């Protein structure tokens, strides 16, 4: 699968060689530039061109921005007022170059300024919320970061609710997200590498990692794959995930997504990268393994015994979500002799009058369950709950009393659905839902033998799968016993002195035993 | 495991250490107590198992030393260095064919066992085919992944086996072990033969050392791994005798699975636990079969260098399926088993000894070590 990304990167570099569009240099004439810009953007209403005349030197300058994208107060206070004051009252150089430099160095009080000299710089800058300053007879412009506009405030996570721990969730604004990370991880080694994604719509993407902890090979691989991305626009991190994942055929998520700030920060410290995309509150964590996906930050917030039990419960839930309907089908249809007589009799009694074989019955219920889940997501919250009650209670009850399904089947499917939602990440729940169907089919054909075959096949798939070169099945296998302290159980804090070995971190020790052991 | 490299496809020494017992016990442990007690009187089988085990340890040490003295070289390449290229090609091909036979035998035994313990009506052909398809899926993946599967399944099957033994302690009758030392010399020879053949799977070590990341440590680890089946074989054999008695053990088809029959799950949640045991053991058989199949591919691929692995798998699978279905009944399966075991054991052992001595005489291999 790595080969796939390689070939893609080759293709892309070829395309770039072929692409004829050379960057258009800016003209020296102010009016030509502005006309050109207006032509390019089709002179929209929200494009503001504000001219300022430097009378003494007889030079015109103009600031250009799109009104909805900038912070009005900032432009007014730090650019407009300053320039107007200067043009009226102060001494300034009367030739072009001198004036430009003076403006650049002294007159503008914006924190982040860049120079630009192509039309592309100007358009991209304006569209990303910058204010551009043109000066007559100058081929260079100033790009001032005045990004503003409406954005959502920081709230508690909505998709991953927190019982205990920081309740900060990421927001759509990349700058805010980066500052959240910085604030939570106050380390001088925290690094942000910025990429620009998208052909039609430029979007910033930041790869965050902690230098000195992470294995440099992982950062290199992530950056290499991100550079191969060639799409029009990436409105959600899912686009990035699907573009850079190792195997698109796998039902398993090869990256974790989260909107919880604490989860991202702890991943950084374990030696992983966090990929943040502008415009979405969901960040990606890579590489991940199967063990990581079944972990949740709360495991560490609670005391170790509770954390371990919760972990264990989660593994149990994962197995139930996968196996339960299949086991039921195989025991009832193919191996009824394996059930104790009393239980077999009571199942048979409850199935009396049910016209379908258990497989059909199970599929009916599973499909109903999936429909309910999907409908519950689509509907507004208050109605969603109603649907849950109507679907779960009324349909279940009615189906049983109508004799379409047996009550035990309702119990089995209900348990399975609950177990699938007991996982800390939504995407692995979907994986389990897909794989469960495989188990049910195999159980209907081969009984327990079919279940074990499918189980073996899933294992084969998982040991062959990789996430950014890290085997997905670590640390179960390749066996790293040291990492088992934090896998199915979560050992006491004082014992978790090392970072996960499978990530081959540069700095393996996270806690010095001497310092913490007392 | 500090040395774990980014995306490394090498096999670790520990993985080799687990793979060897994995292929050895996968199928043979199921019927071994029967075969040994057929040959031996009383409980004398443990002696031959121990002696044969010791002999196997010696051979595996020779094999591993031999292969490890040519680090990173395939069997074909070091055998050509020691003997000559044409001879090496013939030897490799014979090994390939033998491993195909082993894989076919394992698949057939699984099909046969499933009929006995799980479903009576489902034809062996269907069960074997579905199993073979899973094997093919595994073999098409990376080689390191196969060894990782071993690491996953081996503990599971062993924990279940030990669990079955521990539960059975309730029914142990030590007097069943009597009489002791009543076997005549001829039976000892026969028993020794049977038990040496039970250990035959480890010949794969000749082929896999080339992939081990630290070949120097491989001989020690291989021997360590080989201790596991010796202990397990003796334990299972003695338990079968103590629980079923000598006469019953020698008449049961798969006494090891029948051990699980005695188990009653407290609370009566499940009956017929031996079916569950068999289901779990499917993973064990799977491990052995994938290793045998992969070793066959490895051997053939080293001769037919230009053929792609997937292509070879597609060509070999129907052949394996055909061979697996050749025996018509249990006695023919046993004949097939004896033939394959006998051939592989005598071939692998004699070749190893020849190679070791030829290498000594011609002074190759040792030089490589001196250079290191």
Domains and CATH numbers, chain B: 13-351 (1.20.1740.10)
Confidence of residue A138 (pLDDT cuts 50, 70, 90): confident
- For residue B311, what pLDDT is reported? 92
Would you place residue A178 in the very low, low, confident or very high pLDDT band (cuts 50, 70, 90)? very high
Chain B: closest CA distance from residue A93 (Å)? 59
Of A215, A447, A451, the CB nearest to B6: A215
Rounded to the nearest angstrom, the minimum Cα separation between B116 and chain A is 13
Asked if the Cβ–Cβ distance from B275 to A448 is below 8 Å, we say: yes
| The pLDDT of residue B362 is above 90 | no
Verify whether the Cβ–Cβ distance A478 to B271 is below 8 Å: no
3-state helix, strand, coil in chain B (%, to 5): 80, 0, 20
ipTM attached to this prediction: 0.93
Distance from CA of A487 to the nearest CA of B (A): 15
To the nearest whole Å, the CA of A358 is away from the closest chain B CA by 18
Residue in A with minimal Cα distance to B280: A452
Q: Does pLDDT of B95 surpass 50?
A: yes
Residues of B in contact with A339 (CB under 8 A): 270-271
Chain B neighbors of A447, CB-CB under 8 A = 118-119
Residue B364 has pLDDT above 80, yes or no: no
How many beta-carbon contacts under 8 Å exist across A and B?
A: 112
Q: Which of B67, B9, B1 is nearest to B218 (CA)?
A: B67
pLDDT for residue A297: 86
Judged by a CB distance cut-off of 8 A, whether residue B280 touches chain A is yes
Is residue A159 pLDDT above 50, yes or no? yes
Query: Which residue of B lies nearest to A460 if distances are taken between CA atoms?
Result: B138
Q: Are residues A340 and B271, on separate chains, in Cβ contact within 8 Å?
A: yes
Bridge pairing between strands A283-286 and A470-471: unpaired
pLDDT given at position A85:
84
The arithmetic mean of pLDDT across residues B182-196, rounded, is 86
3-state SS string for B47-106? HHHHHHHHHHHHHHHHHHHHHHCCCCCCHHHHHHHHCCHHHHHHHHHHHHHHHHHHHHHH
Closest-approach residue (CA) in chain A for B138: A460
Selection from A508, A510, A504 nearest residue A474 by Cα: A504
* Arithmetic mean of pLDDT over chain A: 86
The contacts of residue B241 (CB under 8 Å, 6+ apart) are B33, B37, B43, B45, B176, B177, B249
Interchain CB distance below 8 Å, B134 and A460: yes
**Residue A456: is its pLDDT beyond 90?**
yes
Contact indicator for B222, B64 with CB cutoff of 8 Å: yes
User: Which tops the pLDDT comparison, B120 or A220?
Assistant: A220
Q: A499 to each of A166, A254, A260, A270, B52, how far by Cα in Å?
A: 22, 20, 21, 6, 45
Q: B47 CA to chain A: closest CA distance, Å?
A: 35
For B161, the 3-state DSSP assignment is helix
**Cβ separation of A477 and B153 shorter than 8 Å?**
no
Confidence tier at B372 by pLDDT (50, 70, 90): very low
Does residue A510 have a pLDDT over 80? no
Query: What is the rounded CA–CA span in Å between residue A349 and residue A413?
Result: 19
Q: Which residues of A touch B151 (CB under 8 A)?
A: 476-479
For residue A150, pLDDT over 80 is answered with no
Which residue's entry shows tokens 């679907």?
A: A391
Distance from CA of A302 to the nearest CA of B (A): 30
pLDDT tier at A485 (50, 70, 90 boundaries)? confident
CA-based nearest residue in chain A for residue B114? A449
Q: Find the helix or strand (DSSP H, E) in which A321 lies.
A: helix A304-329
Which region among A3-17, A95-109, B125-139 has the lowest average model confidence (pLDDT)? A3-17
Q: Which segment of A264-268, A383-387, B146-150 scores lowest on mean pLDDT?
A: A383-387
- The distance from CA A419 to its chain's CA centroid, rounded to whole angstroms, is 24
Give the Cα separation of B279 and A427 in Å (integer).
Answer: 30
**Helix, strand, coil % in chain A, rounded to nearest 5:** 55, 15, 35
Q: Pick A51 or B5 by higher pLDDT.
A: A51
Least CB–CB distance from B149: residue in A215, A459, A504: A459
Contact status of B15 with chain A (Cβ, < 8 Å): yes
Percent of chain B's residues with pLDDT above 90: 44
Show residues of chain A in contact with B269, CB under 8 Å.
Answer: 340, 343
Region A26-43: mean pLDDT is: 86
CA B366 to chain centre: 30
Nearest to B145 among A218, A453, A463 (CB): A463
| Residues paired with A196 in a beta bridge | A204
For the beta carbon of residue A66, count every other beta carbon within 10 angstroms: 19
Residue A517 confidence (pLDDT) above 70: no
Query: For testing the chain B interface, which of A448, A457, A468, A498 should be mutated: the one with the most B CBs within 10 Å?
Result: A448
B291-320: per-residue pLDDT in tens?
999 999 999 999 988 888 899 999 999 999
Please list, in sequence order, all residues whose beta carbon lies within 8 angstroms of the beta carbon of residue B353, skipping any fewer than 6 positions away. B62
Dump the DSSP string for A207-264. Answer: EEEETTTS-HHHHHHHHHHHHT---S---SHHHHHHHH-S-TT-SS-SSEEE-BHHHH
What's the gap in Å between the CA of A229 and the closest CA on chain B? 22
Domains of chain A by residue range: 2-145, 174-288, 300-471, 481-516
pLDDT greater than 50 at residue A14:
no
pLDDT at residue number A43: 82
Which of the four pLDDT bands, split at 50, 70 and 90, describes residue B2? very low
Quote the pLDDT of residue A432: 93
Residue % of chain B over a pLDDT of 70: 95
Q: How far is B128 from chain A (nearest CA, A)?
A: 11
Q: Is residue B151 less than 8 Å (CB to CB) from chain A?
A: yes
Q: Which residue do the tokens 């208050």 mark?
A: A382
Percent of chain A with pLDDT over 70: 94
Written in H, E and C, the secondary structure of A465-486 is CEECCEECCCCCCCCCHHHHHE
Does residue A54 sit in helix, strand or coil?
Answer: strand
- The percentage of chain A sitting over the pLDDT mark of 90, rounded to a whole number, equals 32
Residue in B114, B141, B144 closest to A449 by CB:
B114
Task: Indicate yes or no: CB of A449 within 8 angstroms of CB of B118.
Answer: yes
Which residue from B4, B7, B271 is facing A501, i.e. has the nearest CB? Answer: B4
User: Which chain A positions have a beta carbon within 8 Å of B280's beta carbon?
Assistant: 452
- What are the structure tokens assigned to B19, written together? 């793979």
Average pLDDT value for residue range A227-239: 92
Ranges A121-125, A370-374, B146-150, most confident: B146-150
* CB-based contact, B306 to chain A, within 8 Å: no
Mean pLDDT confidence for B207-223: 87
Confidence category of residue A21, pLDDT binned at 50, 70, 90? low
**Are A335 and B272 inside 8 Å of each other by CB?**
yes
Distance CA A433, CA A422 (A): 13
Contact A335 B275 (CB under 8 A): yes
Q: What value does the mean pLDDT take over residues A264-290? A: 93
Residue A15: pLDDT band (50, 70, 90) is: very low
Q: Is the pLDDT assigned to residue A7 strictly greater than 50?
A: no
Cβ-based contacts of B119 with chain A (< 8 Å): 334, 447, 449
Q: Which residues of A touch B (CB under 8 A)?
A: 215, 217-218, 334-335, 337-343, 446-453, 456-457, 459-460, 463-464, 466, 469-471, 473, 476-482, 501-502, 504
**Do residues A470 and A503 lie in contact, with contact meaning Cβ atoms separated by under 8 Å?**
yes
Query: Cβ of A338 and B272 within 8 Å?
Result: yes
pLDDT at residue B268, as a whole number: 67
For residue B59, what are the contacts with CB-CB under 8 A and spacing of at least 6? B348, B349, B352
Report whether pLDDT(A22) > 80. Answer: no
| pLDDT for residue A237 | 93
Q: Tell me the pLDDT tens digit for each residue of B257-280.
A: 888 887 777 766 677 888 889 999
User: How much is the pLDDT for A90?
Assistant: 65
Tell me which residue has tokens 């989260």: A258
Among A287, A343, A452, A498, most B C-beta atoms within 10 A, so best to mutate, is: A452
**CA of B194 vs chain A CAs: smallest distance (Å):** 30
Q: Tell me which chain A residues have a C-beta less than 8 angstroms from the C-beta of B2.
A: 501
């Amino acid at each position: 699968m790595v080969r796939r990304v390689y070939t893609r990167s080759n293709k892309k570099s070829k395309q770039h060689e072929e692409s004829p569009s050379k960057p258009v240099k800016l003209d020296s004439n102010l009016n030509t530039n502005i006309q050109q810009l207006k032509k390019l953007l089709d002179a929209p209403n929200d494009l503001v061109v504000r001219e300022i005349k430097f009378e003494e030197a007889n030079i015109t300058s103009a600031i250009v921005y799109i009104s909805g994208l900038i912070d009005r107060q900032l432009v007014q206070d730090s650019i407009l007022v300053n320039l107007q004051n200067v043009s009226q009252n102060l001494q300034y150089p009367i030739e072009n170059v001198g004036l430009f430099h003076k403006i650049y160095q002294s007159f503008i009080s914006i924190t982040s300024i860049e120079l630009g000299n192509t039309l592309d710089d100007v358009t991209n800058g304006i569209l990303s919320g910058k204010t551009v300053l043109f000066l007559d007879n100058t081929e260079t412009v100033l790009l001032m970061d005045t990004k503003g506009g409406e954005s959502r405030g920081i709230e508690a996570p909505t998709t991953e609710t927190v019982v205990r721990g920081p309740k900060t969730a990421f927001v759509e604004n990349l700058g805010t997200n980066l500052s959240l990370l910085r604030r939570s991880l106050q380390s001088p080694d925290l690094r942000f590498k910025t990429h620009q994604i998208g052909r039609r719509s430029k979007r910033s993407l930041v790869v965050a990692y902690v230098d000195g902890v992470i294995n440099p090979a992982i950062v290199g691989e992530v950056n290499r794959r991100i550079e191969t991305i060639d799409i029009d626009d990436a409105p959600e991190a899912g686009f990035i995930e699907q573009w850079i994942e190792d195997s698109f055929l796998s039902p398993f998520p090869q990256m974790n997504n989260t909107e919880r700030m604490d989860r991202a920060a702890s991943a950084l410290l374990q030696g992983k990268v966090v990929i943040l995309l502008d415009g979405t509150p969901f960040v990606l964590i890579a590489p991940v393994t199967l063990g990581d996906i079944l972990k949740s930050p709360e495991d560490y917030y609670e005391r170790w015994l509770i954390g371990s039990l919760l972990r264990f419960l989660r593994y149990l839930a994962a197995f139930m979500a996968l196996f339960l309907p299949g086991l039921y089908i195989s025991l009832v249809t193919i191996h009824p002799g394996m059930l104790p007589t009393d239980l077999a009799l009571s199942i048979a009694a409850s199935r009396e009058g049910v016209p379908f074989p258990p497989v059909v019955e199970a599929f009916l219920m599973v499909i109903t369950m999936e429909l309910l889940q999907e409908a519950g997501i689509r509907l507004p919250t208050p109605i969603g709950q109603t649907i849950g009650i109507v679907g779960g209670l009324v349909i279940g009850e009615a189906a049983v009393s109508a004799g379409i399904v047996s009550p035990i089947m309702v119990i089995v499917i209900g348990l399975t659905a609950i177990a699938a939602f007991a996982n800390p990440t939504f995407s692995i729940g979907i994986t389990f839902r897909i794989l469960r169907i495989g188990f049910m089919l195999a159980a209907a054909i081969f009984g327990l033998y079919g279940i074990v075959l499918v189980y073996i096949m899933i294992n084969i798939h998982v040991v062959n799968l990789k996430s950014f070169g890290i085997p997905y099945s670590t640390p179960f296998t390749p066996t790293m016993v040291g990492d088992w302290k934090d896998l199915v159980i979560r050992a006491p804090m004082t014992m978790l002195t090392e970072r996960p070995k499978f990530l081959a971190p540069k700095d393996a020790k996270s806690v010095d035993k001497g310092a913490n052991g007392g | 495991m500090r040395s774990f490299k980014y995306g490394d496809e090498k096999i670790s020494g520990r993985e080799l250490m687990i793979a060897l017992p994995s292929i050895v016990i996968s199928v043979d442990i199921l019927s071994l107590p029967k075969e040994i007690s057929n040959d031996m009187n009383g409980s004398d089988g443990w002696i031959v198992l121990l002696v044969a085990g010791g002999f196997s340890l010696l051979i595996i040490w020779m094999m591993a030393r031999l292969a490890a003295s040519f680090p990173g070289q395939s069997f074909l390449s070091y055998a050509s260095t020691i003997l000559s290229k044409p001879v090496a090609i013939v030897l490799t091909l014979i090994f390939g064919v033998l491993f195909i036979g082993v894989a076919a035998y394992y698949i057939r035994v699984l099909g046969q066992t499933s009929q006995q313990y799980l479903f009576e009506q489902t034809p062996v052909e269907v069960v074997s085919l579905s199993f073979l398809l899973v094997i093919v899926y595994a073999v098409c993946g990376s080689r390191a992944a196969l060894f990782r599967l071993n690491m996953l399944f081996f503990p599971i099957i062993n924990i279940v086996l030990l669990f079955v033994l521990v539960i059975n302690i309730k029914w142990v009758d030590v007097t069943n072990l009597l009489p002791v030392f009543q076997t005549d010399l001829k039976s000892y020879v026969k028993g020794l033969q049977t038990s040496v053949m039970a250990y035959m799977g480890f010949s794969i070590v000749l082929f896999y050392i080339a992939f081990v990341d630290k070949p120097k440590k491989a001989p020690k680890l291989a021997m360590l791994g080989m201790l596991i089946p010796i202990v397990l074989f003796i334990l299972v054999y003695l338990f079968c005798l103590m629980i079923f008695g000598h006469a019953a053990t020698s008449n049961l088809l798969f006494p090891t699975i029948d051990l699980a029959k005695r188990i009653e799950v407290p609370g009566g949640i499940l009956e017929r636990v031996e079916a569950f045991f068999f289901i779990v053991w499917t993973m064990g058989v799977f491990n052995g079969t994938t290793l045998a199949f992969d070793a066959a591919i490895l051997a053939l691929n080293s001769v037919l260098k230009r053929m792609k692995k997937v292509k070879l798998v597609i060509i070999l699978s129907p052949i394996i399926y055909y061979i697996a279905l050749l025996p018509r009944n249990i006695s023919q399966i046993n004949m097939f088993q004896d033939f394959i075991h006998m051939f592989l054991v005598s071939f692998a052992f004699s070749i190893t000894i020849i190679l070791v001595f030829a290498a000594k005489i011609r002074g190759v291999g040792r030089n490589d070590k001196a250079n290191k």
